[in-house]
Structure 1
Amino acid sequence: MSRFLSRRHLLAAGLAAPALISTRSARAAEEVDVELILAVDVSRSVDAEEMEMQMRGYAEAFRDPRLADGIAGGPLGAIAVTLFVWSDWNIQDTLVPWMRLDGAATCEQFARAVDGASRETYLYTSISGAIDYASRQFGQRYGGLRKVVDVSGDGVNNSGRPLAAARAEALEKGIVLNGLAVLDRTPPPTTLLAGLPPIDEYYREEVIGGPGAFLMVAEGYESFSGAVRRKLIREIAGLAGPSVERATA
């Protein structure tokens, strides 16, 4: 009888082990107010100077005291942020891994990481590939009360699977897609001849989505830094506002 009970207890323990491991894994993810993914366009429409403006804009935004104040005002007082660049359907490169930010000191650490990140540009524009990649990054180390992807870019999807499919799958997972559209004040003739929609309209209709989703429009890369600051402060603090905001230099 004792041998039978021993085997039965071992069997029960074995059956319970996966559930126990799963529970421990779930608890291992540190809770934060928001998991925020910054997805930065580095397609061929972004030249070296514009790429530098983008990265400098992100670094300056995380040095803004208002951003740290916004983090402190959250229920948990901490967020998790990562930054990756994207271009073709198969090109996504994480430049700054997930970091937990809970005040000015950690925001400065993130800003320094952005300062030291590589500057790179590629060819095509796969917003769908960027959204798919971002969707897979959530829940790796942190568990956010909100999950937000901040997609910045200046062109329409022209590589990878249909954008609508990637967008729909992300929204089904409860991910909020916000956008930062950069308007080219002097678009090339090929863009005009192709009859492509204005990038702000495209992002509003085809990219953003989810509860409280919004689009920040930068009037040229000269306005990028200010647009990023305003956008991040609103995202981190979860502030309500218009679905489309515009920033000028």
Structure 2
Amino acid sequence: MELVLAVDISQSMDTDEQEVQRAGYVAALTSDEVLDAIRFGPTGRIAVTYVEWGGVGEHFTVADWTLIEDRASASAFAARIAEAPLRQVQRTSIVSALDRAVEMMRSNPYQGLRKVIDISGDGPNNQGGSVTEMRDRVLAAGITINGLPLMMKAETTAWQAMLHLDHYYEDCVIGGPGSFSIPVRSKESFADAIRMKLVLEIAGLVQDQPKVMLASSRQPIRCNLFD
């Protein structure tokens, strides 16, 4: 699998949240569960890169493409993430982040059996164009998008609670075969959510019974509300 870990560093992510986010990825990438998922996969290895993103054109490759096939390679990759300086940028362009992730897949030296973009964020797309049009272009390229909506401020940030960011990711961001989204609602649950997400992505696991949501169960999200 080719996996892009695309991580939000917009200004709404304070330093404490960024540190929790980094620590969660480092712990997950070196966990026994994730290493087992890699080892027992069809090739026993994955190609992965870790990119932080914000507004249009604001992309920072923290850990470039690496083959992870054992604990040593996973630890070396995780160390590059842990040691990199923290950054913070202004806007939230999911569109630009997805576009950059696709380009990174096209230009890397690998040819994975599956291609996945794992995108995390604590807000809607607010720059760069239509998020649904970009999502559809990514899916047409044969790439799956999974989401990690960060809702750690939902109780204190009125706009985030009102938006239902988990629903926004379901309706407007994720897509492709086996795609899924795991909301993070507290700092304490972040590491567990990352580990679960990586295991599902690497192992290519899907639910026996796909999620079916009745149209009448909630109002659909207006995906272009902030575009």
* Short-chain TM bin: 0.7 to 0.9
Structure 1 residues 106 and 150: CA distance shift in structure 2, 3 A:
same
Tell me what 2:217 maps to. none
2:44 equivalent to 1:77: yes
After TM superposition, the runs of 4+ consecutive aligned structure 1 residues lying more than 6 A away are none
Alpha carbons 1:181, 1:216 under 8 Å: kept: yes
Aligned length: 208
Structure 1 residues 83 and 243: CA distance shift in structure 2, 3 A:
farther
Tell me what 2:13 maps to. 46
Tell me what 1:181 maps to. 149
2-structure distance, mates of 1:175, 1:125: 21
2:181 equivalent to 1:215: yes
When normalised by structure 2's length, the TM-score is 0.87
| SS of residue matched to 1:122 | coil
2:118 corresponds, among 150, 153, 175, to: 150
2-structure distance, mates of 1:167, 1:85: 18
2-structure distance, mates of 1:220, 1:121: 21
Deviation at 1:196, TM superposition (A): 5.1
Gaps of 5+ in 1: 1-33, 245-249
Gaps of 5+ in 2: 213-227
| SS of residue matched to 2:126 | coil
- The aligned amino acid for 1:177 is I
Tell me what 2:66 maps to. 99
1-structure distance, mates of 2:211, 2:20: 25
1-structure distance, mates of 2:134, 2:69: 31
Alpha carbons 1:71, 1:79 under 8 Å: kept: yes
- The aligned amino acid for 1:185 is A
When normalised by structure 1's length, the TM-score is 0.80
- The aligned amino acid for 1:167 is R
Alpha carbons 1:69, 1:103 under 8 Å: kept: no
Alpha carbons 1:41, 1:86 under 8 Å: kept: yes
2-structure distance, mates of 1:144, 1:126: 26
2-structure distance, mates of 1:142, 1:243: 32
Alpha carbons 1:215, 1:243 under 8 Å: kept: no
Q: In proportion to residue count, which structure has more strand?
A: 1
- The aligned amino acid for 2:186 is G
CA RMSD in angstroms comes to: 1.6
1-structure distance, mates of 2:186, 2:147: 15
2:102 equivalent to 1:112: no
2:200 equivalent to 1:231: no
Structure 1 residues 219 and 158: CA distance shift in structure 2, 3 A:
same
Structure showing greater Rg: 1
- The aligned amino acid for 2:27 is E
2-structure distance, mates of 1:100, 1:197: 38
Q: Deviations over 1:204-232 (max 9, x none)?
A: 10000000000011112332111101100
Structure 1 residues 164 and 229: CA distance shift in structure 2, 3 A:
same
Deviation at 1:243, TM superposition (A): 5.5
2:129 equivalent to 1:166: no
Identity %: 39
1:14-53 alignment runs, 5 A limit: 34-53=1-20
2:104 equivalent to 1:137: yes
2:95 corresponds, among 124, 128, 139, to: 128
Deviation at 1:46, TM superposition (A): 0.2
Alpha carbons 1:214, 1:243 under 8 Å: kept: no
Alpha carbons 1:182, 1:221 under 8 Å: kept: no
Comparing 180-189 and 85-94, the one that deviates more: 180-189
